[in-house]
Amino acid sequence: MKRIAATLLVALALAAGIAVVTVQVLAARSYADVPLPEVRSSTDPVVIERGAYLVNAVAHCPACHLPQGEAKSYGPLSRPQLVGGHRWDLPYGTVYSANITPSMRFGIGAWTDGEVARVIRTGVRRDGSLSPFMVLGVGDIADDDLSAIVSYLRAQAPVDRAAPQSEYNFAGRAALAFFLRPKQGLPALADAPRSEASVERGRYLVHGPANCAGCHSPSASLGAQAPLLSGGIPAFDEDEPGMETVAPNLTPDPATGVIYHWSEDDFVGRFRGGRVVPGSPMPWEAFFAMTDTDLAAIWRYLRTVEPIRHEVGPTHRAVGANP
Ligand code: HEC
Ligand code: HEC
């Protein structure tokens, strides 16, 4: 009896050991063979200016690439230096955003255009490691927009300051090993003409660079087949302990769609109104700088999606208040 128990214990310990080693090895796997997008940066001021709009407004890179506090208080029309250092304390570890100024030592100064474009499109870094935040937090961006973004980043002043390294615990490494994969840009998201507030343009923005769908869909961010845009999952309020926020249902459902009773002017006007909930992750500061045309395009697209009945409850509430 004793011997059987001992054998079982040894077997269990061995299995656990194998599991730990498997997680370590898989989490450290390199994706360096993921191809670099064929994207070239440009010094054309028109392209750089379009990149400025994409980075600072639509794709809201400053929401993550500025230190705590600054990310939600920078002037909506300012173009801050993207020095990184935003810190997230998560069950998976402590994550810091990177310095993405063209500093040779501390930023992306030494990266090629293709390497910068690849981490934005797929989440794969220069060294082949995977960045979970870049996989989950950035939408699919068309080639010419991607090159405008890289062109803008290149045209910035370098800031020679190191952002702290992210540290993933066992749960984080397990997620990296088994769940997260490089993002694969959806070929269906071709860019529509920028000058028109068309439904196609709105679809591209919502599922692409503005990534509204990422936050406003239940676990869409984990790649599950979730009903798109029917509301997000609750997240801890970064600024107010004990509180949580949840992204509302954006589908045109008469009963539960938050914007069902709004007009196009109400919708655009809401974005000009800016932040109401201080700790909300919604990047109001960035979206404030979006053009009327792009906001109208988003509105027109949202009116065409399938209405889904899904009540998320109050969007800012005490943790657990809405089980
Ligand atoms: C949801 C938050 C988030 C958003 C939005 C975001 N990033 Fe990041 N990004 C990160 C984090 C965090 C890292 C650091 C890597 C890690 O540990 O995941 C990173 C890494 C990077 C890197 C690689 C640098 C390095 O040294 O690893 C580049 C380049 C980059 N981001 C560019 C961008 C651009 C351009 C945008 C806007 C289009 C953007 N990011 C939007 C969170 C974000
Ligand atoms: C990083 C996550 C995130 C992203 C990206 C995001 N949202 Fe939100 N959104 C939220 C959260 C959380 C709330 C609820 C708290 C608040 O109102 O700020 C919200 C609220 C809203 C509201 C309701 C505001 C009100 O006054 O009731 C609208 C409308 C909205 N988002 C539309 C959008 C659109 C359109 C996009 C893309 C252009 C978008 N969101 C992108 C997280 C996000």
CB 62 within 8 A of CB 76: no
d(CA 304, CA 296): 13
Best residue among 41, 53, 64, 151 to mutate for probing ligand 1, ranked by most atoms within 8 Å of CB: 64
| Contact present, 55 and 283 (Cβ < 8 Å) | no
SS3 state at 304: coil
pLDDT, averaged across the chain: 90
pLDDT band for 99, please (50, 70, 90 cuts). very high
pLDDT confidence band for 155 (50 / 70 / 90):
very high
For residue 143, is pLDDT > 80? yes
Of the candidate ranges 108-112, 170-174, 221-225, 314-318, the one whose mean pLDDT is the lowest: 221-225
Q: Which two tokens stand for residue 291?
A: 């053009």
Q: What are the pLDDT digits (tens) for 35-64?
A: 999 999 999 999 999 999 999 999 999 999
Q: Is the CB of 138 under 6 A from ligand 1?
A: yes
Phi, psi (degrees; rounded to nearest 5) at 87: -115, 135
pLDDT band at 239 (very low <50, low <70, confident <90, very high): confident
- The full DSSP string for 29-54 is ---TTSPPP-------HHHHHHHHHI
The ligand with the least distance to the CA atom of 103 is 1
Cβ neighbours of residue 144 closer than 8 Å, sequence gap 6 or more: 191
pLDDT(95) > 70? yes
Residue 213 CB–ligand 2 contact under 6 Å: no
Among 69, 67, 154, CA closest to 111: 154
Domain boundaries defined on the chain: 45-178, 199-318
Q: Does residue 224 have a pLDDT over 80?
A: no
**Whether pLDDT at 199 is above 70:** yes
Ligand 1 atom 1: residue of nearest CA: 137
For residues 116-132, average pLDDT? 96
Beta pairing, strands 243-245 & 93-96: unpaired
Q: Is the CB of 130 under 6 A from ligand 1?
A: no
Both structure tokens of 195: 């000058």
Ligand 1 centre to CA of 82 (Å) is 10
Give me ligand 1 centre to Cα 97, in Å: 6
Q: What is the pLDDT of residue 187?
A: 53
User: Is 206 near ligand 1, meaning CB less than 6 Å away?
Assistant: no
Which ligand 2 atom is the nearest neighbour of the CA of 315? 14
Residue nearest to atom 12 of ligand 2 (CA): 247
Q: Compute, in angstroms, the gap from residue 108 CA to the centroid of ligand 1.
A: 11
How big is the chain by its Cα radius of gyration, in Å? 21
The mean pLDDT of 257-270, rounded to a whole number, is 97
- Beta strands (DSSP E) in 24-150 are 87-90, 93-96
Ligand 1 and 175: CB distance under 6 A: no
> Structure pTM?
0.93
